[in-house]
Amino acid sequence: MGMSTSILLTIALAPLVGCLLAGFLGRFIGRAGAHTATILGVGVACALSIYVLYQLCTGAVPVYNQNIYTWFEIGKFSASVGFLVDKLTAMMMVVVTFVSLLVHIYTIGYMAEDDGYQRFFSYISLFTFSMLMLVMSNNFMQLFFGWEAVGLVSYLLIGFWYKRPTAIFANLKAFLVNRVGDFGFLLGIAAILYFLGTLDYATAFSNSDSLIGRTLQITANTHWDAATVISILLFIGAMGKSAQVPLHVWLPDSMEGPTPISALIHAATMVTAGIFMVARMSPIFELSESALSFVMIIGATGALFTGLIGIVQNDIKRVVAYSTLSQLGYMTVALGVSAYAGAVFHLMTHAFFKALLFLGAGSVIIAMHHEQDMRYMGGLRKYMPVTWITMWIGSLALCGVPFFAGFYSKDAIIEAVGESHRWGANYAYFCVLAGAFVTALYTFRQMYLTFHGKERFTVVSDHGHGHGHHDDHHDDHHDDHGHHESGVLHHAPKESPWVVTLPLVLLAIPSVIIGFLAIEPMLFGGWFGSAITVHESNNVLGELAHEFHGAVAMALHGFTQWPFFLVLAAFAIQTYIYLFNPALADRIKSALKPLWTILDRKYWVDDVYFAVFAKGGVKLGRAFWKGGDAAVIDGAMVNGSASLVKRIASMFRALQSGYLYHYAFAMILGLILLLGGYWLVGQ
């Protein structure tokens, strides 16, 4: 059967069909119809993606690269819809569809009480379609279509509860920050078209060497290297999508959307698009040392400094959100040291354990009647054993404990940065090492506050409070702390239904084993083949390959390395504080008040953006309106021209008598004057 066009079209379009059915026929097919249609669509896409990956792995089929449909042609330039499916694409397709499928199943339980049930299923299916179009594309035009489509759907999903002002603020923020990134991205695509004369990947990459030595004239005396300009512009696009400093501010706020979407946006789809794109563009990025240094430094800064904010968060979902920012920093660092395979490998392992942590947090939120503040939790492990065990597995994978999936991908990145001689590599190495300690600090804090220690909530019977928040349906609990007193529950927390716990278990399995199975082929076995290009002088993973003696040896060696000692130290600190001496946490907080404030205020980045760009934009708009629009356009042009027309019209109106012979006389007079004019000119 091979990899035929029809299979690939089915993979891309099955989720779209599900989305349309749930979206347009949601009322007729009901809730069960909506979730059946979308789960079936994504399930088919997932099964076929696994089949395609299997075909590529066994070498049964070559890389697929074909145009399916020509969109438009202008002269020599044509834009097509086509698919490029190599191992990089196939791996992304499996990750996207698998995580999406589990999120779909989980949603049945999570959104059970929500009025927008069918709409939600329609959106997440559309998200899956958009992401598949992005990763399967074989040209920049289609990449941009998918890029904008995931941006649009994330906007719809973050603002899903549109009656809630915070959600509307958050989705607008995500949309605007992404427009900044997309502006750079679009300029980068335009520069590729300008220099390479094509938007087709294969053609552009095979001609990428022609960029060497070419420059872009900025002013009369400044010439910038073409490859650097293109790479940095494309990376600005990735900074928006993959939430890199300083365009990272939208991602924590996107927690305003329902939990299943947090898992989908932050684990498998939108935020990984930027990482995937840079890896796909490796032939162009490899031409510019300065662009790669820039990528590495931005990533390293994010890996450490956004992780630090996670330590002071009290909302269970926000801890996981800052963790995502930090892990995206790790992936970006890997791209910056030319370890593209390492970045994509970490993208894959991270997708599983991060989706697990988000869905686990959602399971806790359901049990706590939509309470998200960890200060009102504690001792939940005896009520929710499945959620507790699976979240511990996700946490150990995130911290990079040897043998877990996160260890293989994260330690490989730390080692690769250590091998690199690129400008800024020392700074990056410090950040990724310190980041390992920080990651363990907020992860263990979250686990202890939620599942261990004494219970910090009280269960009261309904007779005690007549207005139980258990019947505050989704319209009410949207301000996360609801209308109920924090920490007061009307019945004891209980384990979530199987539609919630099954996805947790299915994500916990790859969170343990996927790194162990995949590290050798992906990082050191040249598994990606021609999908990723690395120049010999930049091949840090090639250097590491000499020291690699198998996955088991690497994990055992990992017990003697700095990252593990740092995780162990963080574990010891948090265990002592939260299990044996909880009062110490507040003492530390007051002792480090200035530092705590800096982290709590998120380094004031949001405040600066709000004060300078948001308020400044409004003021600028008003100034333009008063000075420009109101005075010049309205005053002189619109109102002024109107009054001028009025004056002329009133003069002409006096000539309009309505008698036919007056008009006839005027016409004859006009004709005589016209002929007289001709005669004078002719003389």
Query: For residue range 492-519, what is the model confidence (pLDDT) as tens digits?
Result: 899 999 999 999 999 999 999 999 999 9
Residues near 124 by Cβ (< 8 Å), separated by ≥ 6? 38, 100, 103, 104, 107, 157, 260, 261, 264
pLDDT above 60: residue 475:
no
Higher pLDDT, 267 or 89: 89
For 234-295, the DSSP string reads: HHHHHHHHTT-TTS-THHHHGGGS-HHHHHIIIIISHHHHHHHHHHHTHHHHTT-HHHHHHH
> 21-25, 76-80, 97-101: which has the minimum mean pLDDT?
76-80
Q: How far is CA 467 from the centre of its chain?
A: 39
Mean pLDDT of 364-370: 91
> 111-115, 345-349, 657-661, 674-678: which has the minimum mean pLDDT?
657-661
CA dist 459 and 490 (Å) reads: 5
pLDDT above 90: residue 471:
no
Please give the backbone phi and psi of residue 486, each rounded to the nearest 5 degrees, phi first.
-65, 135
Count other Cβ atoms within 10 Å, centred on residue 264: 31
Say what the pLDDT of residue 617 is.
77
HEC profile for 143-175? HHHHHHHHHHHHHHHHCCCCCCHHHHHHHHHHH
Say what the pLDDT of residue 505 is.
97
> 203-212, 287-296, 552-561, 609-618: which has the minimum mean pLDDT?
609-618
pLDDT above 80: residue 124:
yes
Higher pLDDT, 351 or 646: 351
pLDDT above 70: residue 463:
no
CA dist 346 and 353 (Å) reads: 11
pLDDT tens digits, one per residue of 179-222 = 999 999 999 999 999 999 999 999 999 999 999 999 988 888 88
Residues near 123 by Cβ (< 8 Å), separated by ≥ 6? 19, 153, 156, 157, 160, 261
pLDDT above 60: residue 536:
yes
Say what the pLDDT of residue 655 is.
66
Q: How confident is the model at residue 312 (pLDDT cuts 50, 70, 90)?
A: very high
Say what the pLDDT of residue 301 is.
96
Say what the pLDDT of residue 666 is.
73
Q: How confident is the model at residue 466 (pLDDT cuts 50, 70, 90)?
A: very low
Please give the backbone phi and psi of residue 461, each rounded to the nearest 5 degrees, phi first.
-75, 160
β-pairing, 77-85 vs 64-74, is antiparallel
557: closest CA among 519, 511, 509? 519
pLDDT above 60: residue 478:
no
Say what the pLDDT of residue 467 is.
39
Please give the backbone phi and psi of residue 315, each rounded to the nearest 5 degrees, phi first.
-80, 125
**Hey, which bits of 29-146 come out as E strands?**
64-74, 77-85
> 179-188, 295-304, 331-340, 615-624: which has the minimum mean pLDDT?
615-624
Say what the pLDDT of residue 490 is.
83
> 125-134, 419-428, 648-657: which has the minimum mean pLDDT?
648-657
To which residue do tokens 């109102």 refer?
Answer: 639
Query: What residues does each domain of the chain span?
Result: 1-139, 607-682
pLDDT above 70: residue 52:
yes
CA dist 607 and 594 (Å) reads: 17
Q: How confident is the model at residue 484 (pLDDT cuts 50, 70, 90)?
A: low
Q: What angle do CA 342, 345, 350 make, to 5 degrees?
A: 120
Please give the backbone phi and psi of residue 267, each rounded to the nearest 5 degrees, phi first.
-110, -50
Asked if residue 382 lies in contact with residue 493, where contact means CB atoms within 8 angstroms, the answer is no
* pLDDT mean across residues, the chain: 90
Q: How far is CA 460 from the centre of its chain?
A: 40
pLDDT tens digits, one per residue of 591-606 = 999 999 999 999 989 8
pLDDT above 60: residue 445:
yes
Q: How confident is the model at residue 468 (pLDDT cuts 50, 70, 90)?
A: very low
Q: How confident is the model at residue 658 (pLDDT cuts 50, 70, 90)?
A: low
Say what the pLDDT of residue 661 is.
67
Q: How confident is the model at residue 678 (pLDDT cuts 50, 70, 90)?
A: confident
Asked if residue 286 lies in contact with residue 533, where contact means CB atoms within 8 angstroms, the answer is yes
Say what the pLDDT of residue 534 is.
93
Number of H helices, E strands in the chain: 28, 6
Count other Cβ atoms within 10 Å, centred on residue 61: 15
Please give the backbone phi and psi of residue 445, each rounded to the nearest 5 degrees, phi first.
-60, -45
Say what the pLDDT of residue 628 is.
66
Q: Which residues of 85-109 are buried (b: 16+ CB within 10 A; e: fewer)?
A: bbbbbbbbbbbbbbbbbbbbbbbbb
Q: What angle do CA 203, 207, 209 make, to 5 degrees?
A: 155
Token reading at 337: 């040291």
Token reading at 278: 């840079």
pLDDT above 90: residue 266:
no
pLDDT tens digits, one per residue of 148-164 = 999 999 999 999 999 99
pLDDT tens digits, one per residue of 615-643 = 777 888 888 777 766 666 666 667 777 78
Count other Cβ atoms within 10 Å, centred on residue 460: 13
